[in-house]
Chains A and B, each alone.
Chain A
């Protein structure tokens, strides 16, 4: 048996998996960046921009690694800017529009808690590079959740208006969370190889953490519904195309432009 260069998983599978992680960060970072200059207050402008910056920083580490695993000489910029719609493997939740500030905060709490539970477990990955990135990212994500959950409690347990807005945002975004935990063959292969945690474990821990936050925010957790989103496999909502059009404009108009 020939030894595989990346432990117990196929390089092609690992490449796709690392893209899933990296694209989640890239797309959400781009989305949050839309708030710059538009947030309700200067402090929130800074807050959302800082979270976006951390996410882009993590995306750079992940996409650089994906390029190395792929072995075709693509760097982080090639991967970030020169792929087509169907080649992005982020869950559909992160490409959803920002909506109002409350909706952005709801989406952020859902994702921050997901990333926290993922990264806290990925410390133990058999893939040393992912373990190192996860350990670093977990520290940043903890702080993101501190910010987002703090706001969710204030808005949920705030006025009638703010409560109604975040509850309706939660109801609207909840169906997209199902995809995060819907384990497919790639997730299974990574868990079997010790590269990534079992999504069932992540899901249970996520629900516990989320329920505590929602209780404090006096919000009701919606019930799960059958989902039909497969962003992790490259099938996206109509929103991703607009994000890419903006994000890729410069590279498309001026190929190989560098700072």
Chain B
């Protein structure tokens, strides 16, 4: 993640101030890494790739860039409030949370750790990269069941309990499961 080093040097020419800013940013990242997605409490918003950066503005304000997964997702507001509460709690000083739309969030930004946690939680992580439009419109790659790992599965619904998930069913162990949509 970029941390706008030029800004830090411009704002903090002396080493002590520089170290203080570095420390605040470190505190901010640590606090953010503990903020859970309200719908998928197993995974932090940093693992989901929702934090686009923590930068220090020339006036010393920390700017935290937050991307929505889906623009209509009601969890977005909750996440924003959780982020503000966590940063406040961590004592990072003056900060502002901005919404970053471009480049748009993609499920490719979920970290390796995030994918592992999703799977443990019983949600199949998304296929890599929705690069081709044809793939998005007609992808029929089998999704492996998170319980028995059979690929004899079927999509029950393109949409699930939250905007980011689809519903699948395993024909081998007969259990339903969720798949994190690839966008």
Contact = CB atoms under 8 A, between A and B. Distances in A.
Contacts of A128: 102
B15 interface: no
A140 B158 contact: no
A43 B156 contact: yes
B1 interface: no
A53 to B, nearest CB: 4
Interface stretch (A67-75, A131-139, A164-172): A131-139
B158 A54 contact: no
Interface in A216-255: none
Interface in A26-76: 43-44, 46-47, 49-51, 53-58, 60-61
B103 to A, nearest CB: 7
A147 B70 contact: no
A110 to B, nearest CB: 16
A45 to B, nearest CB: 9
B99 to A, nearest CB: 9
Contact of B133 (A44, A131, A142): A142
Given A140-B70, A140-B183, A142-B136, A135 B102 contact: yes
Interface residues of B, number: 27
B101 interface: yes
Given A43-B167, A47-B157, A53-B73, A139 B106 contact: yes
Nearest to B107: A139
Contacts of A54: 70-72, 163
A145 interface: yes
A146 interface: yes
23 contacts: A43-B156, A43-B167, A44-B157, A46-B161, A47-B157, A47-B159, A53-B70, A53-B73, A61-B71, A128-B102, A132-B101, A132-B104, A135-B101, A136-B71, A136-B102, A136-B104, A140-B70, A140-B71, A142-B183, A143-B136, A143-B183, A146-B136, A147-B158
